[in-house]
A and B are shown apart, each in its own frame.
Chain A
Amino acid sequence: MDSITSAASVVAAGLAVGLGAIGPGLGQGNAAQGAVEGIARQPEAEGKIRGTLLLSFAFMESLTIYGLVVALVLLFASPFS
């Protein structure tokens, strides 16, 4: 692999994780806001809300993980080697 491809791969891996974290971060913030408002309105539903929140957090988290997988592909399993 030439050095240009390597450098591009490293930069792209960083971007994949960094940019991929933006969207889910915003989404998780929104979800947490909604959950807190829901708990404030209905404190007796806290358990149910927390469960749903964690589940949806994990879904959003997996979007970042896709970015991470792409980064890992670029770093450790480069298709251009």
Chain B
Amino acid sequence: MLAFNFFGATEGGLFDINATLPLMAIQVVALTYILNSLFFKPVGNVVEKREKFVSNNIIEAKNKLSEVKKLEADLLTQLQSARTEAQRIVSEAENESDKLYKEALELANNEANASKEKARLEIESQTSAARDQLSKQADDLSELIVNRLILEK
């Protein structure tokens, strides 16, 4: 009749389970140890060393970048202050030269005014002197005319 035979576990069955199973398990465990020492450890060491190297480099580069940024900002403020300083100096010099120019102008004006005044005064005095002389001569002449008129009489 129907003899129940678990999964046909006789010779030559598809589900023939025998000592292959534990030996295969031992083989896989051995393979794990072999691959660990041959593959996972050395490759892991190399990869992790490189990852550490790369991350260290990244950190270093970040530090350098921040330093550069700080220096840049420093430089920028220095530049700013230098620029304002230069502006100040330039405007000061402008003021100075303006002042000097005005002073010189005033001086020249004053001198010109003074010499003009002097010339005017001289002209005036000469005019008055001439007028005096003229009036004196007129007096003399009128006196002479008067005397002659009196003598003729």
Residues of A within 8 A of B (CB): 5, 72-73, 76-81
A5 to B6, CA, bound (A): 16
Let me know if A81 and B14 touch, CB within 8 A. no
Encode B100-124 as 1/0 by CB contact (under 8 A) with A.
0000000000000000000000000
Q: Is the contact region of chain B dominated by helix, strand, or loop, or is it mixed?
A: loop
Contacts of B14 in A (CB 8 A): 72-73, 76-77
Cα distance A76–B7 when bound, in Å?
9
Q: Interface residues of A: mostly helix, strand, loop or mixed? A: loop
The minimal Cβ–Cβ distance linking B37 to chain A, given in whole angstroms, is 31
Contact with A along B1-30 (1 / 0, CB 8 A): 011111111000111000000000000000
A77 neighbours in B (Cβ, 8 Å): 7-9, 13-15
* In contact, A76 and B8 (Cβ under 8 angstroms): yes
> Can you name 10 A-B residue pairings with CB atoms under 8 Å?
A72-B14, A73-B7, A73-B14, A73-B15, A77-B9, A78-B8, A79-B4, A80-B2, A81-B3, A81-B5
Across the A-B interface, the 10 shortest Cβ-Cβ residue pairs: A77-B8, A77-B14, A77-B13, A80-B2, A76-B14, A77-B15, A79-B5, A79-B4, A77-B7, A72-B14
**Category for how many chain B residues contact A:** 10 to 19
Report the minimum CB–CB distance from B15 to chain A (whole Å): 5
| A76, A78, A79, A80 — most chain B CB neighbours (10 Å) | A79
**A76 and chain B: residue at smallest CB distance:** B14
- CB nearest neighbor in B for A5: B2
CB-nearest residue of chain A relative to B16?
Answer: A77
Min CB–CB distance B1 → chain A (angstroms): 9
- In the complex, what residue of chain B is closest to A1 when comparing beta carbons? B2
**Given A72-B14, A76-B13, A77-B13; 4 other pairs, CB 8 A cutoff:** A73-B7, A76-B14, A78-B8, A80-B4
Which chain A positions have C-beta within 8 A of B5?
79-81
Contact partners of A73 in chain B: CB under 8 A: 7-8, 14-15
A27–B15 alpha-carbon span in the complex (Å): 29
* Chain A nearest Cβ from B12, distance in angstroms: 9
